[in-house]
Amino acid sequence: MHEASLARAMLSTVMDSLDERSLRGQDVVSITVRIGELAQIDPESLEFAFSFAAAETELEGCKLIFTTAVAELLCVSCQRLNTYDIEHLYRCVYCGGPCDLISGKEFDVISLELAGSTVT
């Protein structure tokens, strides 16, 4: 279950970004996380792992909000942009050529909501 290590990484990312802005100690209401559709991260497991990792820290009880990043592929042959779909997988819909994945495996903390303000 790699969600446990992701949760710990998330926790330290959030703490670092609070430190950078001298906001440590502020009440964090929610964290918005972007997950690529091919990242193979289960939001429910992540939420559970996070609540465990955040227990007895200042982020205890803070809510996670998930957004999905669409997977996109760039065709090596015709250079056209493809949206990932289960039927074509890594093949270009236009020419059938092979594609490189350019997004869809993201795992980013994109914003924090503090009591009273939002930090991006």
Distance of alpha carbon 80 from alpha carbon 74, whole angstroms: 6
State the nearest-atom distance from the C-beta of 76 to Zn ion, in Å: 8
Residue with Cβ nearer Zn ion (52 or 94): 94
Residue with Cβ nearer Zn ion (65 or 95): 95
Residue with Cβ nearer Zn ion (74 or 119): 74
Torsion 16-64-39-49 (CA) sign: positive
Distance of alpha carbon 18 from alpha carbon 16, whole angstroms: 5
Residue with Cβ nearer Zn ion (28 or 92): 92
State the nearest-atom distance from the C-beta of 37 to Zn ion, in Å: 21
State the nearest-atom distance from the C-beta of 81 to Zn ion, in Å: 10
Distance of alpha carbon 8 from alpha carbon 95, whole angstroms: 42
State the nearest-atom distance from the C-beta of 70 to Zn ion, in Å: 18
- Judged by the rule CB under 5 A, the positions of this chain that interact with Zn ion are 75, 77-78, 92, 94-95, 97
Number of Cβ within 10 Å of residue 61's Cβ equals 11
* Distance from the Cα of residue 34 to its chain's centroid: 3
